[in-house]
Structure 1
Amino acid sequence: MLTSPRTDSLAPPDAALRARSRCSRRTNGPSTPRLQHALNTFADSPRQALEEAEDSFDEAVVRLTNTLAERRRVLHEGWQDPDPDTQSDGLRLALRGYREITQRLLRM
């Protein structure tokens, strides 16, 4: 069983995302079994292979959407701390996290 990467306030938000991303690539990499199957069966049944590839793509979009929603939640929690002693550092880390994830999305 895989354990989730640490996403609590002790782990920098960008580190938590990178760890989750590495874990996702190992278990659900770009060649999911369904996509690989579609690639392997294209010559025999192209339309069915394309439907399977599309389903695989849709699953990847759902996983990405869920990952981004979780990332947003973690970032949001990072700057909601009312303690003035940690607020400046938390705000800086949250801003860096928003910048990094937004830049990665824009590079797609």
Structure 2
Amino acid sequence: MMYDQARAQQPPDKGVGAAARWAPGPEPLLPAEERDRVSQRLRQALLDFADTPREALEAAESAFDEVTAELASALAERRRVLRAGWQDQDAQAQAEEFRHALRQYREITERLLRL
């Protein structure tokens, strides 16, 4: 909570472009409804395991495969948006936009390393 209050008191970034509009933070990489749907599939696989272990494992594997594909797609889209924000900047906007993009890349990469 203290972190959020400190963040709220900071002035907004003054960068321009798509990267500046893409707010940093702990927002989920996948939409809530997708996470809920896959979580439900995993719960069902656990419930089904006693009666049909092989099918339960196949369902869990399918859920895993789907999430990894969705995650790869979401990360590729974030990369595309970040790159579009700094790739064609003029000389004056470059330094701030580059700084903002670097901060975004660092935050996303650190989140992935903590998985």
Same fold (TM over 0.5): yes
TM-score (norm 1): 0.77
Moved >4 Å (runs of 4+): none
Q: Is the 8 A contact 1:13 1:93 kept in 2?
A: no
**Deviations 1:6-57, CA, capped at 9 Å, x for gaps:** xx72513525x82xx2761x20226623222212211111111001000000
Cα pair distance change 1:23/1:52, threshold 3 Å: closer
Residue of structure 1 in register with 2:59 after alignment: 52
Matches within 5 A, 1:1-108: 9=18, 11-14=21-24, 18=27, 21=28, 24=31, 26-29=32-35, 32=38, 33-108=40-115
User: Residue in 2 aligned with 1:3?
Assistant: none
Q: Could you say what secondary structure the match of 2:73 adopts?
A: helix
Unmatched 5+ stretches in structure 2:
1-16
Paired residues of 1:13 and 1:74 also in contact (CA < 8 A): no
CA distance in 1, matches of 2:44, 2:78: 31
Q: Helix, strand or coil: the match of 1:14?
A: coil
The RMSD of aligned alpha carbons is 2.2
The separation in 2 between residues aligned to 1:89 and 1:31, in whole angstroms, is 39
Map Cα deviations across residues 60-85 of structure 1 (whole Å, 9 max, x no partner). Answer: 00000001111111111121133222
Q: Percent identity?
A: 46
Greater relative contact order (CA < 8 Å, ≥ 6 in sequence) = 2
TM-score (norm 2): 0.72
Q: Distance in 2 between matches of 1:76 and 1:59?
A: 26
CA contact (8 A) 1:75 1:94 kept: yes
Aligned residue identity for 1:94: A
What is the aligned length?
97
